[in-house]
Amino acid sequence: MILEADRVAHLLAAQARAVELFDEVTARGLIVPGRGEREVSDQIRDLAHEMFGVERHWHKRIVRAGPNTLYPYADNPPDRPIGADDVVFCDFGPVFDGWEADFGRTFVLGDDPAKHRLLADLPQIFDAGRRYFETHPDVTGAELYAAVGQLAADAGWAYGGPLAGHLVGEFPHARIPGNKIDYYVTPGSDQPMRRADLDGRPCHWILEIHLVDHAAGFGGFHEELLDLGHRID
């Protein structure tokens, strides 16, 4: 069995590659008005293969623009061209050398101040959710979901989906048996998040933040590792 220190190193390396990938998405200007969501998703897929040899993604690739950013992960809105004043978010799960990354980032086109406030709030609410996790040693998935929802409301946003995170690990974590709700940050997930998995190893988690403004018709998304690569001073 792989050593825990090696598991952590692999998960952090996978995330670092995801950061590099999306830095390159920005550098190449792939998210521009007029391109379709599916077109951009395919371009990012091809870029992941070009840069890192990625052959598979452990969950469906998501690029959503404009009103499609209101939809939670499980929905499949029709493909939409990116508009000149849109919010666009990406949610990708590339598998790097057998290890999952799960990474979400938001882009704002145009100068709308409300959309730029969303862009600024996403990482701040992510960090606040991470602080809640760090400072509540016995936190459950349900409790963290409630805390994230309150953080969103306090900042003037609605929370956009039924989940705020999940387990992550060797590909594919989705095959872990048992009561699946306990492997998500969601209502009803009542086990402590700091626990061992079925093999006796520490559980590692992704935190995802989906903020929406239903009246204005847009939302944004931010996702990365929750419990690794960061500690409260």
For the 4-225 domain, the top CATH level (class) is: alpha beta
Contact 148, 125 (CB under 8 A): yes
Q: Residue 125 — φ and ψ, nearest 5°?
A: -70, -35
What per-residue confidence (pLDDT) applies to 199? 81
Q: How far, in Å, are 27, 88, 175, 225 from residue 36 at the CA level? A: 19, 11, 32, 28
Mention every residue, 6+ apart, whose C-beta is less than 8 A from residue 106. 87, 88, 89, 90, 118, 119, 122, 220, 221, 222
Mention every residue, 6+ apart, whose C-beta is less than 8 A from residue 124. 155
Q: How far, in Å, are 32, 123, 130, 179, 215 from residue 223 at the CA level? A: 22, 9, 11, 24, 24
Residue 134 to residue 132: CA distance in whole angstroms:
5
pTM, two decimal places: 0.93
What per-residue confidence (pLDDT) applies to 230? 63
Q: Where are the domains of the chain?
A: 4-225
| Amino acid residing at 6 | D
Q: pLDDT tens track of the chain, all 233 residues?
A: 689 999 999 999 999 999 999 999 999 999 999 999 999 999 999 999 999 998 888 789 999 999 999 999 999 999 999 999 999 999 998 998 888 899 999 999 999 999 999 999 999 999 999 999 999 999 999 999 999 999 999 999 999 999 999 998 765 555 555 568 999 999 999 999 999 988 888 999 999 999 999 999 999 999 999 999 764 33
